Amino acid sequence: QAIEVVVLVGSVRKKSFNRMLAQSLAELVAPSMSLRIVEISDLSYYNDELEADLPASWQRIRQEVGAADAVLFVTPEYNRSVPAVLKNAVDVLSRPYGKSVLAGKPAAVISSSPGALGGFGANHHLRQSLVGIGVNTMPTPEAYIGGIATAFDEQGKLVNASTKEFLQTFIKAFEQWVRRSKSA
Ligand code: FNR
């Protein structure tokens, strides 16, 4: 059975490189897996007072992520950390306490940056939050994609064969990680 992966992109820019990266990944995966971006730009800031009168956006994303087999995070780095919009999505998905739709879910993190460090800081800050809420995050391979601003052509396709190969290897490893975690 095909594995359904929801992708949370840590940028809400229309021309986001991370969104382009997520879209490229969705085209690279084997038929045994499907990748779908889930939107996070409309989520109200987390505030537990809203749990009594649930925002439709929270309801929607909790349902979408809860129904998925796995979660893939594709994120830029903002000031050496996770962009607030993505952290907010994690917060919304992790609550109410004891009812987190992320708990026990297999996940993986890809970070990217126009710079050389590939969003290492964001990648690891995100992993720290995921540890705290019991997400089953794939430890390796790690994915820090540098030079992302020159990685795509005019059509938004990856120009570099080695980047494509790396992502293919990464996503295959992730599929194995998810299948192992489901059968455990
Ligand atoms: C950045 N950027 C950035 N890049 C980086 O490698 N390390 C960092 O700490 C930061 N910090 C940072 C803070 C803020 C507020 C912004 C707006 C940007 C640059 C960032 O990587 C770049 O804008 C990417 O293009 C953002 O990803 P998307 O939107 O293209 O997916």
Among 24, 78, 81, 123, which residue has the most ligand 1 atoms within 8 Å of its CB, making it the best to mutate? 78
Ligand 1 centre distance from Cα of residue 1 (Å): 37
The pLDDT tens digits of the residues spanning 131-143 come to 999 999 999 999 9
Smallest Cα–Cα separation from 148: which of 22, 34, 40? 22
The pLDDT tens digits of the residues spanning 52-104 come to 999 999 999 999 999 999 999 999 999 999 999 999 999 999 999 999 999 99
The pLDDT of residue 2 is above 90? yes
**What residues does ligand 1 touch, defined as CB less than 6 Å away?**
11, 13, 16-18, 76-80, 113-115, 117, 119
What pLDDT is stored for residue 182 in this prediction?
86
Q: How confident is the model at residue 147 (pLDDT cuts 50, 70, 90)?
A: very high
What pLDDT is stored for residue 47 in this prediction?
97
Atom of ligand 1 at shortest range from CA of 113 = 21
DSSP states along the chain:
-PEEEEEEES---TT-HHHHHHHHHHHHS-TTEEEEE---TTPPPP-GGGGGG--HHHHHHHHHHHHSSEEEEEE--BTTB--HHHHHHHHHHH-STT--SSTT-EEEEEEE-SSSSTTHHHHHHHHHHHHHTT-EE--SS-EEE--GGGSB-TTS-B--HHHHHHHHHHHHHHHHHHHHHHH-
Atom of ligand 1 at shortest range from CA of 76 = 27
Name the average pLDDT for the chain: 97
The pLDDT of residue 46 is above 90? yes
Using omega within 30 degrees of 0 as the cis cutoff, is the peptide bond preceding 55 cis?
no
pLDDT, average across residues 114-138: 98
What pLDDT is stored for residue 117 in this prediction?
97
Nearest CA to ligand 1 atom 5: 77
| Domains recognised in the chain with CATH numbers | 3-183 (3.40.50.360)
Cβ-contact 151, 121 below 8 angstroms: no
